[in-house]
């Protein structure tokens, strides 16, 4: 989400470690809106790593999913 501090926190974490990612803006992507609605998410960020979905800026969970 634009102006989302938690979204920025996750992206900064990934960038600092040289981990490539795709940023998807929910307001401008119908696919992202459908994903959020169909999975019951009501806020961002949602980080998808393989088949794992991590709600919020849960850096410890992101590290675990990445094997860090």
Query: What is the value of pTM for the model shown?
Result: 0.84
pLDDT in tens, 15-29: 999 999 999 988 889
Coil, helix or strand for 14? helix
Residue whose C-alpha is closest to residue 57's, from 2, 17, 5, 15:
5
Peptide bond into 45 cis (omega under 30): yes
- What CATH class has 5-66? alpha beta
**φ, ψ (nearest 5 deg) of residue 54:** -120, 115
Q: Is the pLDDT of residue 36 over 90?
A: yes
Domain ranges of the chain: 5-66
Q: How confident is the model at residue 59 (pLDDT cuts 50, 70, 90)?
A: very high
């Amino acid at each position: 989400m634009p102006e989302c501090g938690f979204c920025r926190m996750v992206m900064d974490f990934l960038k600092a470690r040289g981990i490539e990612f795709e940023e998807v803006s929910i307001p401008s992507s119908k696919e992202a809106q459908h994903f959020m609605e169909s999975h019951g998410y009501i806020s961002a960020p949602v980080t998808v790593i393989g088949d794992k979905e991590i709600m919020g800026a849960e850096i410890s969970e992101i590290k675990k999913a990445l094997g860090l």
